[in-house]
Amino acid sequence: MSESVKHCIFCDLINGAGEVSICYEDSSAIAFMDIQPVNLGHVLVVPREHFESLSDIPPELAMHLFEVALRLSPVVRRLHGAEDMNLVVNSGAAAGQNVFHYHVHLIPRRADDGFDIPLPFEGSTMPDRTLLDAMAVRIIAELRDPVRRQIASRLAAVGA
Ligand code: 5GP
Ligand code: ZN
């Protein structure tokens, strides 16, 4: 973590500077029990190195964390006695992230647990098909055109 980054509770836990219940470790990832679980068995899969969100985590590492979550999923499911599961990433403050050290939530679910990620969103309307098509075409164009993609990511980096 760079000096300019504020104090990080997950870095502390990874460095052994706080109580934590670890359930998985390898050279780049660690998984531990969430301190305030939705249900018992709620696990956080975390990179050892400090990355903030989807905007800065290397894709291979993000894939690895997802693989770890998938490995843990049947174990947590079996131990929790629940078939159902949410895999959640809150990336950025506007998306509900509270701890700014990237992590994947693995949340075992029961129908009556009172937790919800309400989709489809009640406050949304269904856009016209032409708008959905236009957005899909823009995404396809960006994926096919690496130069355009580079320019777009540079513009995003400077907030333009
Ligand atoms: P976020 O809102 O950033 O996606 O989720 C942060 C999660 O980290 C929350 O579910 C919260 O309960 C958990 N958390 C916050 N502080 C600690 C801590 O000190 N230890 C552990 N194990 N989990 C924490
Ligand atoms: Zn950190």
Q: What is the predicted pLDDT for the residue at 149?
A: 72
Q: Is the peptide bond before 37 cis (omega within 30 degrees of 0)?
A: no
Q: What is the predicted pLDDT for the residue at 148?
A: 76
Return the ligand 1 atom nearest residue 103 CA.
Answer: 4
3-state secondary structure of 131: helix
Amino acid (1-letter code) at residue 55: S
Ligand 1, atom 20, residue with closest C-alpha: 35
CA 140 to chain centre: 24
Strand 22-25's sheet: what is its strand order? 22-25, 29-33, 43-47, 104-109, 84-88
Decide: 8 in ligand 1 pocket, CB within 6 A.
Answer: no
pTM score, whole prediction: 0.90
Q: Which residues of 45-63 are buried (b: 16+ CB within 10 A; e: fewer)?
A: bbbeebbbbeeebeeebbe
Decide: 90 in ligand 1 pocket, CB within 6 A.
Answer: yes
Distance 9 CA to ligand 1 centre (A): 9
pLDDT in tens, 39-90: 999 999 999 999 999 999 999 999 999 999 999 999 999 998 888 999 999 9
Decide: 35 in ligand 1 pocket, CB within 6 A.
Answer: yes
Asked if 103 is an active-site residue, the reply is yes
pLDDT in tens, 125-136: 999 999 999 999
Return the ligand 1 atom nearest residue 96 CA.
Answer: 2
Give domain limits for the chain. 9-109, 125-160
CATH number at 9-109: 3.30.428.10
Contact present, 102 and 57 (Cβ < 8 Å): yes
Residue 2 has pLDDT above 60, yes or no: no
Q: Mind giving me the DSSP string for 59-93?
A: HHHHHHHHHHHHHHHHHHHHHHT-SEEEEE---SG
DSSP 115: -
pLDDT in tens, 97-131: 999 999 999 999 999 999 999 999 999 999 999 99
